[in-house]
Structure 1
Amino acid sequence: MTSATVNSEFWNGRRVLLTGHTGFKGAWAAAWLVKMGAKVTGVSLPPEGDFSLYNSIQDQLPLTSHFIDIRDAEALTTVVRESNPEIVLHMAAQALVRRSYREPTYTYETNVMGTVNLLEALRELEDLKAALIITSDKVYQNIEDGRAFKETDPLGGDDPYSSSKAACEIATASLAKSYFLEKGVPVATGRAGNVIGGGDFSEDRLIPDIWRAAKAGQSVTLRYPGATRPWQHVLESVSGYLVFLQALAGDSGNALPKALNFGPQGGEVVTVGEIAREVQKAFGIEQDWALVNEEQPPEKSHLALDASLAKKALGWQSKWTSTETLTKTVEWYKAFGQTTDIYTFTLSQIDEYEAPL
């Protein structure tokens, strides 16, 4: 089967509400949507930290940006009403596991009630064709049996972040059935995680930590080097979301699954230590990674996704191997330090991803 692709004609001129557009994945989604001619309205908090992909490309992004907190239902409803989107891609979230241990209330308020606020605001729209709520690969009850999770597996989560995303799944499914089903508007969830690629500068994430260590001339320190994850390039997950939305907005959208995994082909998993070693080598760090000595909040040792349903339902499958993913990621960070036009380089990587295999 030929892999389904993002259809520029579908998105050209389409009114799109994109939440979380200042985040790592959100900025890539914004760049791709704008490239295709979509009329994008972004809703997000301002980017955090000294560096961000959004801040690096915002001057060249022709979109309408609103810096609001999705916990503010009134402000969110006003933006939704004024933008009147046809398509909604909800990516705004508190997305860090370790931060969720420090700030559980904020995590639940953002990830659960923020989503509820959005879906409440969408209920009054007449032109809405489809909405996709992005959750995580960590929504499953993980008993660490090494099996790749399918969409029918039980939801759960031992840490505040994971459980907040599982709760978001339950709330979305309930509101979709209660209010949107009768209108014929598909509302679904997309599950992906451990996404890497250029432009991620978040705290407590592997590639940004290595990039910061490389700038300081140091080796990176790892918390759980033996942990395995379904690593994939950011463009893989974003392409899955866009292909899913295209299908949801089509004539057969209501017949599609209402939750899909997006992950590497064959459930490919690589350890944290292996990723760190390869990326450090690419950045010219000769010494190996070091192990963090102090006690850390617990994290799951094994995580893998079965994305076969996305292939069956949409014809979507990942394109880049882990080696290609790491190569494209390192190329972006090196370009970031060498060029003043990172926007053009970012678009060039989207072009490379879109090129036929």
Structure 2
Amino acid sequence: MNLSFYNGKKIFITGHTGFKGTWLCRILLSAGARVAGYSLEPPTVPSLFVSTGTAKDTDSIIADIRDGAKLRDAVNTFRPDIVFHLAAQPIVRTSYKEPVITYETNVMGTVNVLEAVRSCDSVHSFVNVTTDKVYLNREWAWGYRENEELCGFDPYSNSKSCSELVTYSYKNSFFTERNSAAISTARSGNVIGGGDYAPDRIIPDCIRAVESGKEIILRNSNSIRPYQHVLECLRGYLMLAEMQYENKEKYGGSYNFGPDDESCITTGKLADLFCGAWGSGASWKVIEEVDAPHEANFLKLDCSKSKTVLGWYPKWNIRTAVEKIVEWEKSVSSGNSAKEMTDRQIKEYFEEYHV
């Protein structure tokens, strides 16, 4: 891909105040795009969105994805070329506590954004970002392909499966004309990177522990996940949006963006890599939980379609990803600019691999 495609393009992002949304904003801004965002206030304090000052660089609208009329007005006022839908209630454990809000946000939020896209003839490309957890997880040793059965277990995962089905229905019902928007969904693994402050995520938990001089606590050191740096999947989303913009019949559809097998590792191995990169005697231990909510033990994606059709391949393996996170966190903790550090890693990533 060539980021110059996005120079001058108008891009609308739901969920732009979140961790992944902020990184996507920073990439597009560096490419010369005009970016508008629609989201709730940043979900954490501190937040990457605030520390990078991204609100000043974008047309930022703070609003609820469940407000369909307001969202539709925002899209039609901005008249984007491309829409990325990232807004969601993204935490599995939160979904057990707040299932209704999770379904309202993740299912009806998707309906609302697709209605907004349907009402705006400037949109040429739409990508709904879901998760690897949309699949019916059989704890197989091999990765799930895009044509596998969708049936997430917990309210978060299941609501994202529903979001996929909503997108599929809208695509076939309302976006079949040649001049209508290209519609796709993107499924990625466990995303990690600098500036993530979310609760109940392994890397933020590691950072909070070591910065307070405590031992890292793991719930399950043997669960296997497909970990990848946030820039990896975002490059996939950007490639997909660009390629289906040019040819919707050929490239529209569902795609997995996950790491290679070497980066599908246990939580314990990830903690080992983090402690090794952080140094200063960082260590971890396991505390078994009583009556813990269900979480998958093994989950992996087969990304053959993305590699074959789009030409997308992972670039930073898990060791490099962890090193980049530690570099980001230590730099920002020592007083350097979060915005400059984020933009620098984006520049390094895209220049190093000529993408």
TM-score by length of 2: 0.96
SS of the residue corresponding to residue 355 of structure 1 reads: helix
1:322 aligns with 2:318: yes
Indicate the residue corresponding to 1:12 in structure 2: 7
Output the CA distance in 1 between the equivalents of 2:146 and 2:335.
Answer: 42
Tell me how far 1:287 sits from its aligned partner: 5.6
Alignment match, 1:162: 157
Distance (Å, rounded) in 2 between the aligned partners of 1:149 and 1:267: 16
Q: Which runs of 5+ in 2 are unaligned?
A: none
**1:234 maps to which of 230, 235, 255:** 230
Q: Which moved more, 1:200-209 or 1:270-279?
A: 270-279
RMSD of equivalent CA atoms: 1.4
| Structure 1 residue corresponding to 2:221, chosen from 211, 219, 225 | 225
Shift of 1:322: 1.1
1:98 CA displacement: 0.5
The structure 1 residue matched to 2:66, chosen from 50, 66, 71, is: 71
The 2-side partners of 1:147 and 1:41 are apart by: 39
Shift of residue 338, structure 1, vs aligned partner = 1.4
Which sections of structure 1, spanning at least 5 residues, go unmatched?
none
CA positional deviation for 1:61:
4.7
d(CA) in 2 for partners of 1:76, 1:189: 20
CA shift digits 1:100-137 (9 cap, x unpaired): 11111111100000010010111121211110000001
Match of 1:28 among 23, 40, 44: 23
Q: CA 1:344–1:130 in structure 2 vs 1: closer, same or farther (change >3 Å)? A: same
**TM superposition shift of 1:351:** 1.2
Higher mean C-alpha deviation, range 24-33 or range 48-57: 48-57
User: How many equivalent pairs are there?
Assistant: 351
Alpha-carbon offset, residue 157 of structure 1: 1.1
- After superposition, residues 1-357 of structure 1 pair within 5 angstroms as 5=1, 7-58=2-53, 61-182=56-177, 183-250=179-246, 252-266=247-261, 268-284=263-279, 286=281, 288-295=283-290, 296-357=292-353
3-state SS, counterpart of residue 214 of structure 1: helix
SS of the equivalent of 2:123 reads coil
Please report how far the alpha carbon of residue 306 of structure 1 lies from its aligned counterpart in structure 2 after TM superposition: 0.8
Identity %: 41
> How far did residue 267 of structure 1 move?
6.8
AA partner of residue 187 (structure 1): I
For 1:137, the aligned partner's letter is: D
Post-superposition CA distance 1:281-313 (Å, at most 9, x none):
332353631222332111110011111100111
- Cα deviation digits, residues 33-57 of structure 1 (max 9, x gap): 0111111100111113321110101
User: Distance between the aligned counterparts of 1:287 and 1:216, measured in 2?
Assistant: 11
How much does 1:253 deviate?
Answer: 2.1
Shift of 1:64: 0.5
Distance 2:282 2:344 in 1: 32
In structure 2, the CA distance between the partners of 1:227 and 1:346, relative to structure 1 (3 Å rule), is same
Secondary structure at the counterpart of residue 249 of structure 1: helix
SS of the residue corresponding to residue 139 of structure 2 reads coil
Shift of the alpha carbon at 1:58? 1.7
Are the aligned partners of 2:37 and 2:59 in contact in 1 as well (CA < 8 Å)?
yes
Give 2:259's aligned amino acid. P
Distance 2:56 2:30 in 1: 9
Taking the aligned partners of 2:213 and 2:263, their CA distance within structure 1 comes to 31
TM-score, structure 1 length as denominator? 0.95
Amino acid at match of 1:166: S
Cα distance in structure 2, aligned partners of 1:235 and 1:299: 25
Greater displacement, 179-188 / 141-150: 179-188
What per-residue deviation string (whole Å, max 9, x for no partner) do you get for residues 151-179 of structure 1? 01111111111100000000000011111
- Once the two structures are superposed, residues 82-115 of structure 1 have per-residue CA deviations (whole angstroms, 9 ceiling, x without a partner) of 1111100111111100101111111110000001
User: What is the rounded CA distance, in whole Å, between the counterparts of 1:103 and 1:30 in structure 2?
Assistant: 28
Letter in 1 for 2:185: T
- How far residue 194 of structure 1 moved from its aligned partner, in angstroms, is 0.4
* Change over 3 Å in CA distance of 1:55–1:180 after alignment to 2: same
Q: Distance in 1 between matches of 2:283 and 2:262?
A: 27
